[in-house]
Structure formats: structure tokens, C-alpha cells
Amino acid sequence: MTTTPAATPKAAFGPRRRGRRTFGATRMLGGALGGLILASAAAAQTAPTAAPATTPAAAPADQAAGDIITSYGISTFGKLKYPKGFKHLDYVNPDAPKGGEISEWAFGGFDSMNPYSVMGRSGALSTIFYESLMTKTDDEVGAAYCLLCETIEYPKDRAWVIFTLRPDVTFSDGTKLTAEDVKFSYDEFLQHGLPSFRAVLGSQIESAEVLGPLKIKFTFKPGIPTRDLPQTVGSLPIFEKAEFVRDHRSLDKSGLKPFVGTGPYVLDKMKTGQELVYKRNPKYWGWNNPLNIGRWNFNKIRIEYYADYNAAFEGFKGGSYTFRNEALSKLWATGYNFPAVEKGYVKKVSLPNGNIAPGQSFVFNMRRPKFDDIRVREALSLMFNFDWSNKTLFYGIYDRINSFWQNSDLQAKGKPSPAELKLLDPIAKDLPKGVLTEDAVMAPSSGLRQLDRNNLRKASALMDAAGWTVGKNGMRQNAKGVPLRIEILNDSPSFDRILVPYVENLRRLGVDARLTRIDNAQMTDRERTYDFDMITAQFPMGYTPGASLRQYFGSQSADSSIFNLMGLKNKGIDQLIDDVTKAKTQGQLDTSVHALDRALRAIRFWIPQWYNPNYNVAYYNIFDHPKTLPRYALGELDLWWYDAKKAAALKAAGVLR
């Protein structure tokens, strides 16, 4: 429901990737994103926490007639935490006041308000208008509750699902939601959604059938895992059919006019590429829905765009916006000593972040022959010195990423278990040596000097063995005399201080490495066309991963997906993804994800970077939040609220306008 600031982009139902590091506004789901999107649906799922004594565990369904289950929600493996008729989510303040404004910043600019198209660059929070049939909570794994629907029906084998819609749901223009709108939205995604999404969706769903004004049935194709499919179709963002038909709208077209949605916010105003303001919809149908009590508390959410990270920080110091999730360690360590902080007008706090690390990393474009040899990729990885960077550049704030499921029990550790070996042994020929016998690959450790000479020697030996030897000019070349040239793309000036030392280390290895600065529009274009050697990207994973893994790691997506940036094509990985999607118990899922994580890390298509186990946030002291935030969400845009008395005091002091 809420998400952490990540650059992660989204896939299938969610918006496309917008960049590697989202320094500004938190992206919001609002229950509208998920399904095949790791970044939005699966990543929004959270690790299990014990239900408070006051909240009894709910049965998995309201009733079961034979093999047909009728319920207000569904869980992947276990029971639903919240019982039928619950009053509100445990982690909200049900009495939170409504009003005021929260403002954040975003990087670069935007030229579209369609987050579901590869055309244009969509505005921050441009998914905020849309809701889905079902939504997830921030305190349980694999559960989805009816939001736009009233009930969900499905057989025990989950071969199909029927949604009965709430009769009181309206779009923001006052039009009633019907099953025809749901069917139309599904068809629109199937016909005009992202190519990699269409391929996955088309292979899973047999049909969508309107059974009545408020009832729709999805039937799934036989012979495929159906474990997650009710939640997949339940996470479909819903659009108004009449608007699309009347105004000739389409998901594959860019435009500055948002689609009509059912969500709690509507667009208030925009300055193209500079500012976006969203306002609460007083006629929103769901204000009294238990899933929304205590949420969506701000009258307005404003996004200010900045082309430069430091300029954005200066804007915050000057009060141009009021909430900042700090992503730059140097600023966090040294920059928050301005008068507003010293006088208590601005609060600077670290809040625990229990999410899976976003998988931020350097990524090799393995479509290019120079990266064919795994020894080359390993050698290049050895030259990035995280330990020195963390001490010298990051002030010790970050932890190293080693796993695609870092900061969770799903990450592979040590040697494979007997259960993992049963999955890995049949595909051993497709995986690098050592996967079945050695410890899971870990990012290399380094000394506290920029150039670790021990790693330099290891990297040199690997390069020599791979046929990239040092020529007379001191640079590496292959047997044909072709030099090893590597271009690293970057669209953020603040990232230069990290990349420049890495480039210097690569050149000491004899690699003709260079850093190329481009703007974010160029970065988006070059990513989409796979026109790069190395970039920084993210791999946002979730606690119940499924079919969406194919968009990031599947062979079928290697030449079409904007998420499989490295162009990974590996039959063994494809089989392990199948094992994950077929898991029928939590134990089976854990084992299959461990095996997949182990295999992916062994292929070395990434150089893992770092993550912060805390949210480092600074905000003007005009907000408050629940005493205990959900472990897996910061939730500043929907769980926090505006304190009018504090705001009046700061305005009286001349701190804020």
C-alpha cells in the first residue's frame, strides 16, 4: 500500500522505471499496483509479523461451499491477519486529522502523466489516481483484501476467480464503477501494456468474462501455476471505459492529462516539468472504508522538481518543500547543520527500514560480446571498493548488498541445502561452476585504500585468463588487438564522486573506462534501446515473488523488457523461476528463492552496491505519525498527518510561508 523511495521501477501494471535513484518523492501504490510488478506489488508485500492480541487471526474465507471459497480477501499460503468487519489497520491513527500539505522533491522533469507507457517521462506519483480490485497491507505477507470489490470467489485450485464489485464505488467524475470498466482495463493492458507484461499476462489468463453489472470472472489457462493469479488480476489498475472511448485514450500514448480513476486524490495543478500538486477528492467513495481509515490525511501533496541534487537540498533549506528522504550520505552526515535544524524547526531522524534492499547495482549489458566471459565481469567487480567508499564517501552509513533478497530470510547463505540441491542439480550444466558446491557468491571485500592491490592482482589474473592482456600502451586488448573499452553512464552529478574513483581503479587494471554524463531523458532513451555498457539499476524483489520474475530475469524478456537490462538468457534460471512460481508452501517458496538467488549471484551480471537499513528523513516540524510505524513502510504520504498548531508556530516564526 505504501512504498519506500526506490528507483525501482515498475513493470507490468505499474509505471515504467524512472531512474536508478529516486532522491525525491516516495512512489505510492494506493492499492492500484501489483500483480506482475516486483517493485510495486511484491515489494509492497511485507515480512510476517505477529498479530496483536486484540486482532484475532481471520479464517481464510467467509465461507466455503464445496470447493468454492467466498471471502473478503485471499492469502498466498496462510490466513488473513485482519478478520471480517475489522475497523481499521493496526498501524494507522484512526483519528488522524485531515488537512494541510506535504511537499517533496523529484529529480529531473516530466512530460507525461501516463505512467503505463514507454513513451515520455511520467510525473511523480502519477499512479495516485488509480485503485485496484484488491489491495495489500504493510504488515503481512501474501495477503490481499477487497477494495473495489466486495467479495472474491475461487475454487481451491484457484483455476478461476470471480470478483463482485462494491456498489458504491465511483470514479472521480462521479461515474459508477462497473464490471465493464474492469474488463476494459484488463483488455487495455493486454493490448497496449508494456510488451514484457503482455507476454506474461497473455500466457496466464484464458479469459475475462462480465457476469453482471458488478460481477466479473477471470479464468486462468490450464497447466500453469495459479497460486498468485487471483492477486495478480486483483491488482489491475482500473480505468473508466467511457473516458477512453470518448476521448480516444490509450495506455501506449503519452499525454499530460491523467486518466480518470477511483483513487483518493485528483490532480490540482501542474507546471510541466516543474511542479505537480495533487488534492484530496472530497467526494472520494472510500473515505469510510476500513482499509482507508486513518490514511490519505493531507489535503494536498506537492512535488517540486529539481535538475540538481544540491539545488534540491538548498530548496529544502529554504522551505520550498517540507519533507526529504535523504539519499546522499555526505549531506546526511555534514549538511544538516543549518539554523532551522539547530532551532528545532526541522527534525532530522533515522527510522528503521525493514524492507528488502532494492538491489541497487552496476549492471553489465551482456548483449555486448566484451561481457561474455564471466571472468571479465568478476574482474570488473573486484575493482569497485565499497569498503573504502563507505568509509570515505558515505560516512559509514550504508551496508553492502550481496543478495537480490538482502535484508530478508529469502537471501541464500552458505552452501546449498539438500532441498536446494534437488532444484539445482538438474540444471547444473546451465549454471557457473561452484553453484552446487561452494558458498553463495558474496560481494568482494576490500581494504581502506581506494585501490586494493590484492583485488587488483586477482582481477589482473582473471583478465589474463580471459584473453584480455596488457598491450604496449598499458591498456588491455584481446587477441585481435581490440582494446577493452567500457562506458559507464550517469545522469546524476552527485553520483560522480562514487563513479570517478571506480573509473580510476578500472584504468589501473588496464581497462579503457570512461564516465559519460547524460541527462535523465537521454538515460531513459538509452536504457530502453539497450544502448549502454554499464549503468546503475535496481532489482526490487518481494517476499512472495512469482511470475514477475520473468520480466527481470527470464529469457523470454531479455530483448523486450525494460527490467531485464542485462539481457539475461539462461535456461537454468528460467527453470528456477518456474520452481518459485510453483511453490505451494512457504517452505517450498523459501527453498526455491534461495536456489534462484544463489544462481543469479553466481552469474555476476551485476556489481551490487549498497543499501541503508534506515530511512534518513528530515522534515519541517509540522507533521506527526503513528507512534509505531509498520516495519516495512515509511508511509509519510498516507499514514502521517499535518499538525496545524505546529505549522502555525513555524509560520509565525517566519520559517515557512
Q: Is the pLDDT assigned to residue 156 strictly greater than 90?
A: yes
Q: How far apart are CA 444 and CA 442, in angstroms?
A: 6
Q: How far is CA 588 from the centre of its chain?
A: 24
Which listed CATH number (3.30.70.100, 3.30.70.3450, 3.10.105.10, 3.90.230.10) goes with 361-611?
3.10.105.10
Looking at the chain, the domain(s) classified CATH 3.10.105.10 span 361-611
For the segment 551-560, the average pLDDT, to the nearest whole number, is: 93
Mean pLDDT, range 373-383, rounded to an integer? 98
C-alpha to C-alpha distance for 435 and 600, rounded to whole angstroms: 10
At 410, list the grid cell. Answer: 529469502
Residue with the larger pLDDT of the pair 12 and 627: 627
pLDDT recorded at residue 631: 84
What DSSP assignment string belongs to 567-612? ----HHHHHHHHHHHH--SHHHHHHHHHHHHHHHHHH--EEE-EE-
Cβ atoms of 204 and 551 closer than 8 Å:
no
- What are the residues whose beta carbons fall under 8 Å from the beta carbon of 133, sequence distance 6 or more? 146, 147, 148, 149, 163, 165, 182, 233, 234, 235, 236, 238
Q: Which long-range contacts (CB under 8 A, 24 or more apart) does 255-259 make?
A: 255/112, 255/113, 255/114, 255/120, 256/111, 256/112, 256/113, 257/113, 258/113, 258/114, 258/126, 258/129, 259/114, 259/129, 259/130
Distance between CA 26 and CA 7 in Å, rounded?
Answer: 10
Closest CA to 126 of 278, 305, 282, 322: 278
pLDDT at 28 over 80: no
Mean pLDDT (the chain, rounded): 89
Residue 193 has a pLDDT of: 86
Partners of residue 70 on adjacent β-strands: 63, 153
pLDDT, residue 63, reads 54
**pTM recorded for the entire structure:** 0.83
pLDDT in tens, 238-274: 999 999 999 999 999 999 999 999 999 999 999 998 9
Q: Say whether pLDDT at 607 is over 50.
A: yes
| pLDDT for residue 532 | 98
Would you place residue 194 in the very low, low, confident or very high pLDDT band (cuts 50, 70, 90)?
Answer: confident
Q: Which of 383, 592, 395 shows the shortest CA–CA distance to 503?
A: 383
CA distance 231 to 149: 12
What is the rounded (10 degree) CA torsion for 491, 496, 500, 503? Answer: -20
Question: Is the model's pLDDT at 50 over the cut of 80?
Answer: no
Q: Answer yes or no: is pLDDT of 400 > 80.
A: yes
| DSSP-derived secondary structure for 343-377 | TTSEEEEEEE--SPP---EEEE-TTSGGG-SHHHH
pLDDT digits 0-9 by tens, 63-93: 555 689 999 999 999 899 999 999 999 999 9
In the chain, list all ranges with CATH 3.40.190.10. Answer: 39-90+121-260
pLDDT digits (tens, 9 = 90+) for 408-458: 999 999 999 999 999 999 999 999 999 999 999 999 999 989 999 999 999
Give the per-residue pLDDT at 545: 92
- 16-25, 317-326, 645-654: range with lowest mean pLDDT: 16-25
Give the pLDDT of residue 62.
Answer: 53
pLDDT over 70 (residue 375): yes
Q: What mean pLDDT do residues 620-634 have?
A: 94
Per-residue pLDDT reduced to its tens digit, 29-42: 222 223 333 333 23
Contact 221, 154 (CB under 8 A): no
Are the C-beta atoms of 17 and 518 separated by less than 8 Å? no
Architecture of 39-90+121-260 per CATH?
A: 3-Layer(aba) Sandwich (3.40)
Residue 151 scores a pLDDT above 70 = yes
